[in-house]
Structure 1
Amino acid sequence: MARQKELEEEGRAARKLQEGRQRLENQLAPAKALTSWVPKGESAVIVGRHIGGMVYVGPPPRIDREGYSTKSRPYIDPALPVARLERDPRGTQLPYWPSYSDLSPICRATYLDWLADGRRDASYNPGYMFLYFYGLERRFCVDLPEEEEKRKILDEVRRLAALYDNNGSARRYLGEFIGIAQLDLQDPAASEPVLDFRGWEVPFGLKVAIGSKIAQDEPLSWDWVLSWLICHPEHYLRTPATRCQEEFRALFRLRFERRFPNGLKVAKPRKMLSGRYQAASQEFHADLKPNLGGRPVPDISGLRKPLEIAQEVADEVTEALERFSRYLGRIPDGRGSIEAQALLPAELRPLFPSDALDRLKDWAASQVAEGALVPAAEVIARIGGTLPEKLTKSLLTGAADTLARIGFGLAPDPRFALRSPKIDEPLVIYALEAPIENLEDVSAAYRAALLELALGVFVVQADGVISDAERRALRDRIERAADISAAERLRLAANMDWLLAVPSDLALLRRKLKETGPDVHVALRAALVAAAHADGLIQSEEVARIEKLYKALGLDPGLVYSDIHAGDVLDDPVRVKPATADVPGEAIPTAVRGLAHKLDPALIAATRAETARVSSVLGAIFGAEEAEPETAPVHPEESVRLQGLDAATTALVREIAGETHLTAEAFEAACKRHGFLPAGALEAINEWAFGIYDEALLDDYDGYDVAPEIAAAVTAEFAKEGRHVHA
């Protein structure tokens, strides 16, 4: 038994010895035998790691470059030492142009681990990926393998490009290789436009594709023209083109094909195309002279006219998408909402259909048919999906724009109203003659007529009773209003219905009238007096209300009587209050109706001109939101600096970054606090924002919308650096 146990022990020891020798041979054999390229599907064992194919293994050959010699970067030399424990995935010891032979043992171990793990961990420094890529591009361009192997290499580089897509150098170098490889293999992707590009110059493959089409007298379709524009370093696409890529491309196609239904014909340039592929490893280059049927391909590099045409179309499309883009800037997740769909240009809506928008249109039509006032809360909830606690100007403006783009008007429009409605007040929905894209585009005559109408309604509401005669007089003034369009006349009528239905706010009007100056008083006096004569009768309550408004303007109330009785108004008895039957007391004499107030035509023209002149000033006063609270003044010691800005402008940007929207008045007040004029500050801030963030910080939209991405970045910068920002 003892002898049997001894034999078993000797057998186990022999087997262990044999296994150890085999492991050693497995480790050493590849290092001796593999001295070049390891194809895909095969493997090499390096320091105990099984490294899949598509790598060079062995002593690196010498590369002669510009008078000096160096070792080929991608060759994995098994004779070089490798660290056993330490690793450096962040690449703190990695040089800019890595070479396996020159790496530290720690970096060699890290690189081999990355290779053995499938080359799929993007958290490793991109330098390790580039070292691997150097071997792929060398194999493809220098060794010139069979087409099947080339395709495998191209697929692998595409995978790496996707893995390190957030790295600029990877996008550039790997993208250049992919373009050249696709041309070499006549890959289908080489004949497709490049619509997602972040490089520095027009890709060589795109030059070949467009040049080939021009050589064959083939007109360029919209996608090739847009691709050319996107990739050209001297042409710039604004924010809507990047924020709303799908909508931008769809509208570019529609506008381009409307202008060039058969494509854009481009004259052949005389210069022929040539280029050079410089390897990312800097170890070699390849001269490129593409041909088409044995003839050289024209070089499009010097052409300018096609790009100018493309830029014109792109600018037109960008402008059409401005509002939609600004909405997505404020509400990044808002794509597909009713308001977002309505802000799309009309020609895009069939391509991006919305059942919710169709339901809103049906609902609005039913409200118009019923002819009833609609609660403001219901309108906002229908459009926004939720019921807000407060009805803000931006909500109302968005609702008005949404309805206008599907053919319905909303009164009042907060851009021009004496005041905005409250959440518990009604609104007026009415049918437009046609959808309107830009509600703010109205004439000065409309602004003046709306102001006169608003003040007129304010006066006739004085006695609490609005007679049919007063209604007719107000409507007659709308019909007689000169220099306004039919669409504007509809808007005036709807605003009259709202003004008559909603009680006037004398306190609010008094506060706002105090903001006016002497230059607007003439127009206001004319509008108020004309309202008093609306029905040919002057009520005592109307006179009293006008007196209060005169006081608010800082005028002598005694002017009311001289203004009312100016011109050809007869001094006949004035009816103070209509007689009421069956009320005891003395009978009131039958009213003697005076002759209609006749105004001098020249005076009317002068008054209207004066009203039009001040209408924009009044619009700013009456259409503004309630005054926002003043922020605390900025002390010099709290001033900090952002890159490219002085301390004062930085302080202004810091204040703005805390808001989502500023009224014109709030922005002006902020500029004043920091010692700036609004126009100059707006230009300086947006120019700075374009330089740093490639987008304006402030969008002029019913005041100023603050770009959320930039505001968040600025706020984060301040939070990071505290009170001592030197970004």
Structure 2
Amino acid sequence: MEWIGPLIGFAVLGLLAALVFYVIATLYIRISKLFTRKHRPTPTPVAKSNATPLKRPSKSNTRQGAAFRWVPFGESVSVANAEIAGGGFYLGDHTRPHSPAVPLVDPALRVDFKQQEWSAELGYWPEYERLTPRQRGTLLAYLNSKRESTQVAIGYVFLYYYGLERRIFVDAFHDESLAGELPQLVAEVQRLHRVYGPLNHSFKQYSGRIATIGPLLYDSPVPLQPYDSFPWDMSEEMAATLGQAVKAGRGLTAEEAMLWASTLTNASKGKAYSKVLPEIRALFEARYREQYPAGLGVPLPKTKLKFDVMLSAPGYRSAEFATDLPDVRRVSAPLKPVVAMLEGV
């Protein structure tokens, strides 16, 4: 048992050595951190952009509206260290819940401007956060352009159009203070419809509705659409034009009366009528003006004209808005003499 004493002594010495090593190591680490902090180089300040950068809302701010904002037309913003001019889109945090969904540009997501993909197919209902960095760079480059290139894939155009659509039928539709934006918003949709409608049937259908009846949102006249054959029935656009005439209390022009009458008779539906449309128009106008020098007056119906607009953005279905115009689509009795006149031409 004589070996137990020396063994205990060695153990005590080992513990003391370990304790001393721990104390020395701790002091060394603390001194090193202090020295590094004092001698750390000052970071070079980043040059400020003239654009208006978006600041993410603090976590304590739970208001839904703080998660995104509409960038007005003409304003420039900074996204991925690039200035995007022109406005006309939403900017914000896609991770925050929005109801209904907001088609926005999230400045926190990675963007690649060097390798753009202008012809990339983005699939049905594209979303900014689901795009690749290259595709985001392409969209931002498109937004930073005149937005009229016919070489860009239609998915990028739809991404831009989603924002216009929402601004019209969600924001301005429920906030009267934004009514002043409607003429410019509708005018932009009309421009896009002219550029991209002939290139894509789906975009033509969606944008065409707003392009045609959009002026009714701010009480602007809807002109009579040109035609090369008699219509089979009364479209909403024609109903709006005729409703404006009836509401104003003025007599129908020969053109308006002939189109309205053509929707109430099958005689004008044949191909023969379309082939001789110019001759029929001339004969009808002569007889109509002789019988109704001031135009035919139509009593004001009580029912108001309503529109259902199918929206294209994901998460949306349709929007309905009622106008102050009378709904003339079910009015037929006052037009009987004019129908007989058209059938007798």
Give TM-score scaled by structure 1 length: 0.33
1:213–1:240: structure 2 CA closer, same or farther, 3 Å change rule?
closer
**Superimposed CA distance per residue, residues 159-184 of structure 1 (whole angstroms, 9 cap, x where no aligned partner):** 21221231333332222113343112
Q: Which residue of 1 aligns with 2:54?
A: 30
Map 1:527-676 → 2, pairs under 5 A = none
Query: Is residue 164 from structure 1 mapped to residue 164 from structure 2 by the alignment?
Result: no
SS in 1 for 2:68: coil
Say what the alpha-carbon RMSD is for the aligned residues: 4.4
SS in 1 for 2:163: helix
Verify the 8 A CA contact 1:277 1:286 in the aligned structure 2.
Answer: yes
Match of 1:79 among 108, 114, 118: 108
Report the residue type matching 2:204 in the other structure.
Answer: R
Rounded to whole Å, the distance in 2 between the matches of 1:100 and 1:159 is: 23
Number of aligned residue pairs: 280
Q: Which residue of 1 aligns with 2:238?
A: 206
Rounded to whole Å, the distance in 1 between the matches of 2:151 and 2:270 is: 32
Q: Which residue of 2 aligns with 1:384?
A: none
Match of 2:225 among 188, 194, 210: 194
Match of 1:110 among 138, 147, 171: 138
Query: Is residue 142 from structure 1 mapped to residue 170 from structure 2 by the alignment?
Result: yes
Rounded to whole Å, the distance in 2 between the matches of 1:105 and 1:200 is: 49
Which stretches in structure 1 are left out of the alignment for 5+ residues? 1-13, 66-70, 317-727
Rounded to whole Å, the distance in 2 between the matches of 1:201 and 1:113 is: 44
Verify the 8 A CA contact 1:237 1:314 in the aligned structure 2.
Answer: no
Rounded to whole Å, the distance in 1 between the matches of 2:228 and 2:271 is: 15
Rounded to whole Å, the distance in 1 between the matches of 2:158 and 2:333 is: 36
1:99–1:307: structure 2 CA closer, same or farther, 3 Å change rule?
farther
1:106–1:291: structure 2 CA closer, same or farther, 3 Å change rule?
same
**Superimposed CA distance per residue, residues 213-233 of structure 1 (whole angstroms, 9 cap, x where no aligned partner):** 34666443233245558999x
Rounded to whole Å, the distance in 2 between the matches of 1:163 and 1:178 is: 12
Match of 1:273 among 291, 300, 305: 305
Match of 1:131 among 159, 164, 181: 159
Rounded to whole Å, the distance in 2 between the matches of 1:284 and 1:238 is: 37
Q: Which residue of 1 aligns with 2:285?
A: 257
* Shift in Å, 1:270: 7.2
Q: Which residue of 1 aligns with 2:4?
A: none
Q: Which has the greater radius of gyration?
A: 1
Report the residue type matching 1:195 in the other structure.
Answer: P
Report the residue type matching 2:145 in the other structure.
Answer: D
Rounded to whole Å, the distance in 2 between the matches of 1:315 and 1:104 is: 64
Query: Does 1 or 2 have the higher relative contact order (CA < 8 Å, sep 6+)?
Result: 2
**Superimposed CA distance per residue, residues 433-480 of structure 1 (whole angstroms, 9 cap, x where no aligned partner):** xxxxxxxxxxxxxxxxxxxxxxxxxxxxxxxxxxxxxxxxxxxxxxxx
Q: Which residue of 2 aligns with 1:177?
A: 210
1:308–1:148: structure 2 CA closer, same or farther, 3 Å change rule?
same
Verify the 8 A CA contact 2:232 2:262 in the aligned structure 1.
Answer: no
Report the residue type matching 1:41 in the other structure.
Answer: G
Rounded to whole Å, the distance in 2 between the matches of 1:175 and 1:230 is: 24
Rounded to whole Å, the distance in 1 between the matches of 2:340 and 2:90 is: 47
Query: Is residue 54 from structure 1 mapped to residue 54 from structure 2 by the alignment?
Result: no
1:46–1:172: structure 2 CA closer, same or farther, 3 Å change rule?
same
* Shift in Å, 1:120: 1.6
Rounded to whole Å, the distance in 1 between the matches of 2:129 and 2:337 is: 50
SS in 1 for 2:104: coil
Report the residue type matching 1:125 in the other structure.
Answer: A
Q: Which residue of 1 aligns with 2:75?
A: 42
Report the residue type matching 1:224 in the other structure.
Answer: E
1:230–1:196: structure 2 CA closer, same or farther, 3 Å change rule?
farther
Rounded to whole Å, the distance in 2 between the matches of 1:180 and 1:132 is: 20
Verify the 8 A CA contact 1:195 1:227 in the aligned structure 2.
Answer: no
**Superimposed CA distance per residue, residues 507-539 of structure 1 (whole angstroms, 9 cap, x where no aligned partner):** xxxxxxxxxxxxxxxxxxxxxxxxxxxxxxxxx
Rounded to whole Å, the distance in 1 between the matches of 2:254 and 2:107 is: 54
Rounded to whole Å, the distance in 2 between the matches of 1:255 and 1:298 is: 29
SS in 2 for 1:133: helix
Rounded to whole Å, the distance in 2 between the matches of 1:315 and 1:129 is: 49
Verify the 8 A CA contact 2:52 2:76 in the aligned structure 1.
Answer: no
* Shift in Å, 1:304: 9.8
Query: Is residue 88 from structure 1 mapped to residue 117 from structure 2 by the alignment?
Result: yes
Rounded to whole Å, the distance in 2 between the matches of 1:200 and 1:175 is: 19
Report the residue type matching 2:208 in the other structure.
Answer: G
SS in 2 for 1:50: strand
Rounded to whole Å, the distance in 1 between the matches of 2:97 and 2:336 is: 46
Rounded to whole Å, the distance in 1 between the matches of 2:112 and 2:261 is: 50
Report the residue type matching 2:89 in the other structure.
Answer: V
Rounded to whole Å, the distance in 1 between the matches of 2:156 and 2:262 is: 31
Report the residue type matching 2:93 in the other structure.
Answer: P
Query: Is residue 122 from structure 1 mapped to residue 168 from structure 2 by the alignment?
Result: no
**Superimposed CA distance per residue, residues 327-383 of structure 1 (whole angstroms, 9 cap, x where no aligned partner):** xxxxxxxxxxxxxxxxxxxxxxxxxxxxxxxxxxxxxxxxxxxxxxxxxxxxxxxxx
Rounded to whole Å, the distance in 1 between the matches of 2:116 and 2:106 is: 19
Rounded to whole Å, the distance in 1 between the matches of 2:220 and 2:320 is: 20
1:240–1:203: structure 2 CA closer, same or farther, 3 Å change rule?
closer
Rounded to whole Å, the distance in 2 between the matches of 1:182 and 1:202 is: 19
Q: Which residue of 2 aligns with 1:153?
A: 185
Rounded to whole Å, the distance in 2 between the matches of 1:136 and 1:89 is: 21
Verify the 8 A CA contact 1:51 1:116 in the aligned structure 2.
Answer: yes
SS in 2 for 1:56: strand
Verify the 8 A CA contact 2:56 2:93 in the aligned structure 1.
Answer: no
1:196–1:104: structure 2 CA closer, same or farther, 3 Å change rule?
farther
1:49–1:152: structure 2 CA closer, same or farther, 3 Å change rule?
same
Report the residue type matching 2:224 in the other structure.
Answer: P
Which stretches in structure 2 are left out of the alignment for 5+ residues? 1-40, 58-66
Give TM-score scaled by structure 2 length: 0.64
* Shift in Å, 1:152: 1.8
SS in 1 for 2:194: helix
Verify the 8 A CA contact 1:176 1:203 in the aligned structure 2.
Answer: no
Match of 2:320 among 287, 306, 310: 287
Rounded to whole Å, the distance in 2 between the matches of 1:312 and 1:62 is: 60
